[in-house]
Structure 1
Amino acid sequence: MESPPIYSLPQETLQNIFSSLPLRQIMICRSVCKLFNQILTSSSFVHLISTEKPPLSLLALRPPHHHRQPPNSPFLLNAFDPNQNQWLRFNLSFLPFRSLHPIASSTGLVYVWADSPDSLDSNKLLIACNPLTRQYRMLPQLGSAWFKHGSVLVDSANRVMVLTELASLFFNNSNHWLKFSSDLPSKPRSPILVSNSVYTLCDVGSAWRNEWKLYSCKLSTLMNSQQFWNRLEKHEWGDVFDILKRPRLVRGMENRLLMIGGLKSSFSLNSPCSTILILRLDLDLLEWEEAGRMPVEMYRIFQESSKFKVFGMGERVIFSAKRHGRLALWECGKGGGGGEWRWIDGLQGTGDGPCRGFVFEVSLNVMP
């Protein structure tokens, strides 16, 4: 049989044709045939479009903490595309490591905890990889305590921080981690990176009553100070931290952060919550405003659950309840001043616990 006419076209011509497609269509075309996959995964094509295509913003799920991958089965990263309302799967089996656990993402790279393939000790590796180009690199080895108790934060320059209550590690594309003692009053809760600063919540209350406060530090001060955390407070804020039960932080749009938690019906110790409230803090003006609150009929699912998780970034936040087979999505700027709320179906393989996750900005960037 004669080869199709497209096989006779020069590779440069095919690359120029494919470069006009959106990133989503390029991803689909890679699985059409061997020729397309060869062209669209070549280093020359990746370099051609790496700076031209806007990233595809997805909401990726982390596997359960005690997840065990079945033998000889591919490790798939599940991610939801809110624009197309569909799930996508990214195969991470090209990584030659054991016990993969995706944890964070930035500029097209996914950061994955893993065990070394040739080591039986308790050390852990943090791997940076691009699922589209199948490139990866290992960061310096870490102990298992950082994997179990640390929060991994990555900025747009791919600087990495692993943060715990007692210490923090900082990696700035060098060959080693820089370690700093932490002066936080308690375990950091839902730390986030906004611009050049880290923000986290800490409980400064007692064993009988929580009292949450907001702390921040600038990455630029890590090298110059042993006491770099500052408490952010303002008299005008009043009781903003007291009205929310179990608050969490999520990175907002531009220089803003979101604080999310159950809205207490009163200030009593075991006050029930009436819904989930989203507050927005302008970090330039240090002023809070209400961004949205979950509809009562949707909140009934979360009211019945003993635990729920929150993750997202910018204009989208996902809510996950224990033993509930779908996710709730809030999108800022849609449906009026309180945003738009809707359910996400098709959730698979997450176990009984609530889902955790991160924002995955998919792109064909070359590894730095």
Structure 2
Amino acid sequence: MEESPIYRLSQDSLHQIFSTLPLRQIMICRSVCKLFNQVLSAPCFVDHVFTRSPLHLLALRPPHHHHHHNHRHASSHPCLHAFDPDQSQWMKFNLDFLPFRSPHPVAASLGLVYLWGESPDSPESNKSLVVCNPLTRQFRVLPQLGSAWSRHGSVLVDSSRQVMVLTELAALYFSGAHQWLTFSSNLPSKPRSPILVSDSVYALCDVGSPWRSQWKLFSCTITKLKSSQTWTRLERHEWGDVFDILKRPRLVRGTGNRILMVGGLKSSYSLNTSCSTILILRLDLDSLEWDEAGWMPMGMYRCFQESSKFKVFGGGDRVCFSGKRVGRLALWDHCSGKGEWRWIEGVPGNGDGLCRGFVLEAKLTALP
């Protein structure tokens, strides 16, 4: 067969043609053929188009059991599944460029994905925290941490790429110093759903009794964690019983200087009360005032009533909900200025389990 004329074009000409496309089309063209993949993955092209607007995705973490057990015979093609709410379609990013067994993505920031990975020639308990970009297929291993951090720690990343692993202890990674700073968290209980907003950490802690939970909001700036290591309990008289009306509350980062608190809306204040729906509350950190952001429609909530618990992930104006045997994800989308609810179908692995995830702003970001 006669060779296609496009093969006669120089690489500079191809770069000039493809550089006019948005990032979404560039990623689609990469999968067309080997030539396009080679041309569009070249470092000089990536450097030229790295300012393209990111893809705002909701990425899934692998099933929980894959993280805790040794899967020597697992698929040789690990990948990261992500949903594009703007196009209502699933995407798959191959992670086969990583020399690790069962890579477990847990967080993302500024186009970079952070994951736990175990080296093929090391014990299963010896996991490292790795930062990578699935679009550029680059990665870097962060300084070694003990195995307890990967089993119990929540990985948080801020806009300046400081990485915190928070349990009852916490570790800060400073990209310039290439070392971890370890210290006691000094919290009254294990932090639930910690989030980073600017230079502050927010977490829910149970200050109640063994027979009745009582959740409160705590915060601390990174500067204080490095010096006085003191957390502040955020509360105001005007808040009333805001923490008592939700069952099993979680925090999600909102837009700007706001945080979301999500949980089941209790039908009463009795100990084992049922819930009437799932409620999303929003806290403005500037004014310290709460307002109602949204609540799940009853037709959708009925699918979650039979599940003993549900998981929440997302951020900004989009929050996802998963439950056992639901088979799909529920999405709250406030990007249009009003809270819209819809189902996300086609969840990888049929969605029968509890899905966890994080926000991924995919872009052609170079590693620091």
| TM-score (norm: length of structure 1) | 0.95
Displacement after TM superposition at 1:7 (Å): 2.2
Q: Describe the shift of the 1:274–1:323 C-alpha distance in structure 2 as closer, same or farther (beyond 3 A).
A: same
Q: Give 1:144's aligned residue.
A: 147
Contact 1:105 1:111 in 2 (8 A): yes
Instruction: Show the counterpart of 2:165.
Output: 162
Tell me how far apart the structure 1 counterparts of residues 102 and 147 of structure 2 sit (CA, whole Å). 12
Give the deviation of 1:121 after TM superposition.
5.8
Instruction: Report the equivalent of 1:341.
Output: 341
Shift of 1:100: 1.2
Tell whether the 8 Å contact from 1:55 to 1:363 is kept in structure 2 after alignment. yes
Matched residues in 1 for 2:157 and 2:194: separation?
A: 11
1:290 corresponds to = 292
Unaligned runs of at least 5 residues, structure 1: none
Shift of residue 72 of structure 1? Answer: 4.8
1:333 deviation in Å? 4.9
1:310 aligns with 2:312: yes
Number of residue equivalences: 363
Write the letter of the residue equivalent to 2:249: P
Which residue in the other structure is 2:56 paired with?
A: 57
Q: What secondary structure is seen at the aligned counterpart in 1 of 2:204?
A: strand
Q: Give the SS at the match of 1:79.
A: strand
Query: Which residue among 83, 89, 92 is the counterpart of 1:89?
Result: 92
User: How much has 1:5 moved relative to structure 2?
Assistant: 2.1
Aligned to 1:324: 326
Of 235, 244, 247 in structure 2, the residue corresponding to residue 245 of structure 1 is 247
Which among 193, 197, 200 is matched to residue 197 of structure 1?
Answer: 200
Structure 2 residue ranges without an equivalent (≥5): none
Q: Distance in 2 between matches of 1:151 and 1:277?
A: 24
After superposition, what is the alpha-carbon deviation per residue over 1:198-242, rounded to whole angstroms, capped at 9, x for unaligned? 1100000001111100011111223322x3211111111110000
Report whether the alignment pairs 1:37 with 2:40.
Answer: no
Corresponding position: 1:367 with 2:331: no
Whole-angstrom CA distance in 1 between matches of 2:6 and 2:78: 33
Aligned partners of 1:122 and 1:89: how far apart in 2?
27
Match of 2:14 in 1: 14
TM-score by length of 2: 0.95
CA distance in 2, matches of 1:285, 1:216: 15
Q: Which residue of 2 aligns with 1:172?
A: 174
Residue 111 of structure 2 corresponds to which residue in structure 1? 108
SS of the residue corresponding to residue 45 of structure 2 reads helix
State how 1:195-234 maps to structure 2 within 5 Å.
195-225=198-228, 227-234=229-236
Q: 1:25 to 1:309 in 2, by over 3 A?
A: same
Q: Which runs of 4+ in 1 moved over 6 A?
A: none
Counterpart code for 2:52: K
Mapped partners of 2:269, 2:86: distance in 1: 39
Structure 2 partner of 1:187: 190
Q: Distance in 2 between matches of 1:158 and 1:16?
A: 32
1:77 deviates by 0.9
Is the CA contact (8 Å cut-off) linking 2:80 and 2:93 kept in structure 1? Answer: yes
Deviation at 1:9, TM superposition (A): 2.3
Structure 2 residue matching 1:66: 3-state secondary structure: helix
| Counterparts of 2:341 and 2:171, CA distance in 1 | 37
Shift of 1:123: 1.9
Partner residue, 1:117: 120
1:76–1:92 CA contact under 8 A, matched in 2:
yes
